[in-house]
Every structure is written in C-alpha cells, then in structure tokens.
Amino acid sequence: MKLIVGLGNPDKEYQNTRHNFGWLVVDALAEKKQLKWTKHQTGHSLTTDFNLGREKIILAKPLTYMNNSGQAVSSLQQFFKISKTELVVVYDDIDLPFGKIRISTNRSAGGHNGLESIINHLKSKDFKRIRLGIGPQTGAAEDFVLKKFNSSEKRKLSEIIDTSHLILETILEKGFDWAANKYN
C-alpha cells in the first residue's frame, strides 16, 4: 500500500493558486482514473484509492491548512499503517523554476511550512517528495504562493501535471530510485 498526498489549502479562494499545485496533481490523477473523493473518517483529509496490480494506492488531499498538513498526513499514515517510506508528498517548491520537477527523499523542509509540519508530525524526513517548481519568486513568499497562476503558467500546467503523473506511475511501478535516475 502507498499513500500519495497532494498539499494545498482547502478553501475555494485558494483553488488554482501556486500553493495548491499538489492538490491540482492528485485531483487530475483522480479525474483521469474516474475516482471520487470522500471525506476520510479521520476527518482531516479527502481520500480516494485505486489498485495497481495487487497494491492499493491511496490519494489524499489534507483539509487542514498548508501549515498544519502534518496533522492530516500523520493521521492517515497511522490509520492505514503505511511505512513512512511508502509515503509520497506532492507539493509546490518556490526554489525551483516554474516547470521544473524534482523527486527527492530524506531532505529538510527547505522553508516549506507544510513540509515542516509533516516532518514534525512524522518525526522523520524519510518520505518521498515530488517537488513542483513555482519560482522565481516575486515579492513576499507568503503573497507569491497564494496568487493564482499567471496566463503563461496556466498554458503549461497540463503538461507539468501529465509529467507528474508519469513520475508517480514510474515510482509505483519501477521504484523510487529508478524514477529518480530517469527524471532528475
């Protein structure tokens, strides 16, 4: 079993903002697979799932705000009894240029409050990440991440989301190291 979490903020006003890039990726994957989201019994997330061969893949979108993402991720990880190494977090990264995607594991939060919350709640950095570039930053970081994608970025979103799905599929089918060698 694997848990794939897309980070974002739950309110409608944050839809299609840079900080909700993780949500956009898992939403698009759920739509592609014709899955329906339901509120998980832990109360902190929307979840859906599918099978890949014999393995169950759980997609999740925390309903906590970004800065409290760890609460939702930790409760799901404990509920499903999933190893931290079977967790993949998809999120925006202000330090990467827009369109760049990097996969990594066992790194610091790099100033990302949602990731910091997850690391603190799990008491571990040992989980996989798909980092979606949203840089370069203009203005204050807090304002920049909460702005909607500009028109030039919007034109590239579907291609970036499709690439993210390929990366996820590669991680699920061939393993993290294989995906890292191919996509980084």
Annotated catalytic residue: which of 19, 40, 112, 121? 19
- The pLDDT tens digits for 96-111 are 999 999 999 999 999 9
Tell me the C-alpha distance between 164 and 102, whole Å: 10
pLDDT of residue 28: 95
pLDDT of 64-82, one tens digit each? 999 999 999 999 999 999 9
| pLDDT for position 76 | 98
Q: CA-CA distance, 99 to 128, in Å (whole number)?
A: 19
Domains in the chain: ranges and CATH: 2-183 (3.40.50.1470)
Mind listing the pLDDT tens digit for each residue in 16-47? 999 999 999 999 999 999 999 999 999 999 99
Q: Is 165 a catalytic residue?
A: no
Q: What is the number of residues in the chain?
A: 184
β-sheet with 2-6: strand ranges across:
38-39, 45-52, 55-62, 2-6, 87-97, 128-135, 101-105
Single-letter code of the amino acid located at 108: S
pLDDT for the residue numbered 26: 97
